[in-house]
Structure 1
């Protein structure tokens, strides 16, 4: 799989990244460790050598599963993990990084990201200067290679960038959720900051597998996803029906079409999660799909029928940020 530079760093990432929120099990149901290990390994074998995780995913369990899957090929993979909003004081960042290093069974993290801005989820406010000082020190010590942020607005990235080099932004971004395009994307393009889009399939909605009236079980975070509710869901289903003929023209799945559209956007790479090996193997195919300018424009227009009514929504889920 062709690789891309991460921001202005010397790290090379794959345009499709393996996401491992589900590997932590918390906020998901029916996840088996053995299946997750197989899925991560299959991602590597399919050419996806960039893996994204976080300390908060199952309180380190996701990081441990990543290590279980990839420790023997550590020199051939890129690890990206995150420090949560409640660990942004100087000493907390250092301690969190050390825990992640231990969980990942490695002596360096390629990309270390602030998961949510300080103050999110009722966390204590910590000045970004203090957090960045810790991250810069970790970088100088060789414990991390690059610094990224996640769920930051343009204004928040600009402030963080005053205190050190930011090489990536990780926002929710898909054909059905496009807030980043109007806010942070222009700044990222101007400043060579890679966009690592999470939920690129709108948590599975863009696969076309969920019909109207679908109910997620208790404990599944998608119960709170606004895209699966009411008129949003109706509009999404109508858009999916319009996308199917385009996917058929390229002989690919709806998921591959959505991922291919996304990684064709400026600076953008897609973080795709998977419960099973087959899912990630299918996702990898999207890296080879080259959409024509006309089809990119048509897909864009179809997506806007879903996203335009959501213009004033800041969070994809109905829980506090």
Structure 2
């Protein structure tokens, strides 16, 4: 399989290697938390992402209890592991040293690779009722895996600047994966994104499309019934404010012959410090539509106008809310 087009690339933190300006997110491939998802569709979406130039794929041991990693492993057999970069994550319940080692070994096996390009701590210890493990213990285990050649770079997800700084005393952190979209920006508001930009930590936003809310396909009568129904963005009054903002974005989208989804994604790519937003898709058509954002260069005035449209949505959420599901 050969890509039919290419995307721009950006350096991932201080890792020394580049990633495509968009990342393919494989949460949906886990299947368990999503409706209407099957393995063949997931594989087809991954192939489509590769064909249009996406060469960075993100998964986690917690996505479908490892099933997502298994599907990514099948995909890697098709394209060759040297053709793409793969990121995965160790869960918050597995941050003790021996569990980090065990989780990594299992991920390597499911992915069918000898080295994981980017191995990330999915959530800080103690999140979701997980055991409180000192970050020194977890980072020491990760650096050991790095020295053994089982992982290349270390990243974190859902960490604030203080947590990243503490982790960095035990090893180099190359990336942060925060929830970050036009409608949800807590890591910008609390200064973490600025910290990352100043300290050479790449930012890989997840849920960059606000879980599809920027697409314009939802309405007050048509709300998602899958795991998104627990997300604060899909609850009133935020939901109604977001729908209004999307409607007002349409003239800007028309200017670029694009959809509101593509414009919202292009807006995020244009934000300071952002490396590669993670785009999930269940079908080839979805990923082909999203990838156009990588070729859109928004005028500065339009970036500002889009930011202004989103402000009422941001104002409806607590600045302390860094997790839209809690």
Where on the TM-score scale, by shorter chain, does this alignment land: which range? over 0.9
Q: Which runs of 4+ in 1 moved over 6 A?
A: none
Q: 2:65 is matched with which residue?
A: 59
Distance 2:269 2:154 in 1: 21
1:201 paired with 2:182, answer: no
Match of 1:216 in 2: 224
> Where does structure 1 lack aligned partners over 5 or more consecutive residues?
none
The answer to whether the aligner puts 1:41 opposite 2:40 as a matched pair is no
Higher alpha-carbon deviation: 72-81 or 110-119: 72-81
| 1:276 corresponding residue in structure 2 | 283
Contact 2:209–2:261 (CA<8 Å) still a contact in 1?
yes
Distance 1:221 1:171 in 2: 18
Where do 1:159-238 residues align within 5 Å? Answer: 159-183=166-190, 184-217=192-225, 220-238=226-244
User: How many angstroms does 1:176 deviate by?
Assistant: 0.2
TM-score after normalising by structure 1: 0.97
Distance in 2 (alpha carbons) for counterparts of 1:94 and 1:182: 35
Q: Kindly indicate whether the alpha-carbon contact (under 8 Å) linking 2:186 and 2:322 is maintained by their aligned counterparts in 1.
A: no
Mean Cα displacement is larger for which, 110-119 or 24-33? Answer: 24-33
RMSD: 1.1
Show CA shifts across 1:11-69 (max 9, x none).
Answer: 21111100011100121111010010000011001100000000000111000111112
- For 2:266 and 2:323, how far apart are their aligned partners in 1? 22
What are the superposed Cα offsets for residues 160-215 of structure 1, whole Å, 9 maximum, x if unpaired? Answer: 11111000000000000011112211110110111000000000000010011324
Q: Deviations over 1:243-281 (max 9, x none)?
A: 110000000111110110001111212101001011111
Measure, in 2, the Cα distance between the counterparts of 1:317 and 1:114. 19
Report the equivalent of 1:109: 116
CA contact (8 A) 1:38 1:69 kept: no
Normalised by the length of structure 2, the TM-score is 0.95
Counterparts of 2:217 and 2:60 in 1: how far apart (Å)? 28
CA distance in 1, matches of 2:88, 2:211: 20
Match of 1:69 among 69, 75, 83: 75
Per-residue deviation, 1:71: 2.1
- Is the CA contact (8 Å cut-off) linking 1:171 and 1:196 kept in structure 2? yes
CA positional deviation for 1:308: 1.8
Aligned-partner Cα distance in 1 for 2:256–2:171: 43
Question: Contact 1:55–1:83 at 8 Å: present in 2 too?
Answer: yes
Structure 2 match to 1:122: 129
What runs of 5+ residues in structure 2 fail to find an aligned partner? Answer: 1-6
Mapping of residues 71-150 of structure 1, within 5 Å? 71-72=77-78, 73-150=80-157
